[in-house]
Amino acid sequence: MTTADDIFEQSANNIHNLGLREIPFTESPTDLQNKTLDRIFTGREKELRQVFNLFQNRERRRILIYGRIGIGKTAFLLEILSVLTRKRPKMLTTYISLPSELDLATTALIALAKALPDDDWAQRQLHQMGIPTAKEIKERTSEAGTNAVFVGKFSEKDVAPNKAQYPTLSLEILLDRALEKYPDGVLIAIDDLDKQNPRRVRELMHDAQGILKGKAWFMLTGHPLGITGDLLTSERGLFDLQLKLEELDQPTTYKMLINYLNSARINNNCDDVNDPLSVLPFSPETAKEFCRVSLGKPRFFNRLGNAVLSTAANLGVTHITSEVLQQGFKTIEKDRKLLLAEKVMENRIFQLLQKRGSLSDETITIEELELLGVKSYSEIVPYLERLDDEDFVQRSPQLDEIAYTPILLPSSDP
């Protein structure tokens, strides 16, 4: 064994000392196996009920799930798909993250074609778009004889890839083919619209009105900034259900922590919220503090969890005491400071936020805007959104203003 092997073993042992096989926290739910996601997915009962009620209906539906980045939209979407796969085996479910350069029709076509690996026509569509398929696609040429009886000789050569000219039409055709095999319907889930420029999202949505009213069920995830009011109103909008995902409350976050830890625990699983064993290697006090600091934001929760457990492992401890927890927060704070130092404008805004306690479009003054080098609050909203996405700030719940407060970790300097 090499020194590197030793270090690997030591690293694994440090995690085992905490009673865990691995660090269960991950910021990307798509990295998880379905079974693991099912174990750790927590809460959102009301929202799940709203979605599943719709699926008791035969009529095709369009569902929009929106919320801030990191609020758990992808996990929510994947959990629904996982349940439907089990409960509706005659329904085809597909998932795709929206590629940056594609429209919704083409994206939906790719998702559906990938879900039909045995359909030649579907695979040809992929091949024509230059997307790898399971089987190589060959073109057939023929040489026909001139006599009355047709005598053909077939040879095959590779097809040169082409772009799909009519993605909407191709999607319709493919949907018809899929519905023959899946009589309960086809659900196409398109994720990560919120990673696009908000203006592009509006354009995508408007251009996709045709396919969204077609033969498939659609579930899309987005970001409030990218969604215009008209899409959110069912009178003239595109969606039958618009679900906003908010931060989880503290009891749900605590339960989520239990589920995460149980998914990686070596033995002695316990999911009784009143039993201190359920949150090991945390104590109930440090678990509660951890959940409080995470603010019910799943991605931030995972980020913090990673940092805290990594710190605990590096320290070689078996329990996460208050000191270890603070040390974990300090690690994250250091990373945050480094990240912020590279972004001049975000840094300036954050400094002002820390000083003022909050910033809002209602109360900000011209002088404060001048300090930031801008003339309007709308100029700093994109920066505030980015700070929100990176968990430096959070949007206040007031409905009549756009206000932000800083997220200060307990270890932060005043």
Question: Which spans of this chain sit near another protein (rule: CB under 8 A)?
Answer: 199, 202-203, 206, 224, 228-230, 232-233, 361-362, 364, 366, 369, 374-379, 381, 399-400, 402
Q: Tell me how far apart the alpha carbons of residues 22 and 4 are, in angstroms, rounded to a whole number.
A: 19
Compute the Cα dihedral for 400, 403, 405, 406 and give only its sign: positive
What is the three-class DSSP state of 141?
A: strand
CB of 394 to another protein, least distance (A): 17
Q: Are 228 and 201 in contact (CB under 8 A)?
A: no
Torsion region of 320: left, alpha or beta (phi above 0 gives left; psi -120 to 50 gives alpha) = beta
Q: Which is nearer to another protein, 203 or 323 (CB)?
A: 203
Q: Which is nearer to another protein, 21 or 202 (CB)?
A: 202
Q: Tell me how far apart the alpha carbons of residues 192 and 190 are, in angstroms, rounded to a whole number.
A: 7
Q: Which is nearer to another protein, 199 or 355 (CB)?
A: 199
Q: Are 266 and 258 in contact (CB under 8 A)?
A: no
Amino acid letter at 291? C
Q: Which is nearer to another protein, 176 or 362 (CB)?
A: 362
Q: Which is nearer to another protein, 183 or 397 (CB)?
A: 397
> Does 397 sit behind a cis peptide bond, omega within 30 degrees of 0 on the bond before it?
no
Q: Which is nearer to another protein, 84 or 364 (CB)?
A: 364
CB of 41 to another protein, least distance (A): 30
Compute the Cα dihedral for 266, 267, 272, 274 and give only its sign: negative
CB of 376 to another protein, least distance (A): 4
CB of 349 to another protein, least distance (A): 16
CB of 26 to another protein, least distance (A): 32
CB of 243 to another protein, least distance (A): 18
Dihedral angle at the C-alpha atoms of 371, 378, 242, 257, nearest 10 degrees? Answer: -10
Question: Quick one: which of 247, 188, 204 has its CA closest to 62?
Answer: 188
Half-sphere exposure for 230 (CA within 13 Å, toward CB): 6
Q: Which is nearer to another protein, 156 or 379 (CB)?
A: 379
CB of 128 to another protein, least distance (A): 29
Structure tokens at 387: 């700070």
Helix (H) or strand (E) holding 130: none
Q: Tell me how far apart the alpha carbons of residues 93 and 84 are, in angstroms, rounded to a whole number.
A: 8
Q: Which is nearer to another protein, 120 or 362 (CB)?
A: 362
Structure tokens at 228: 């215009």
CB of 230 to another protein, least distance (A): 5
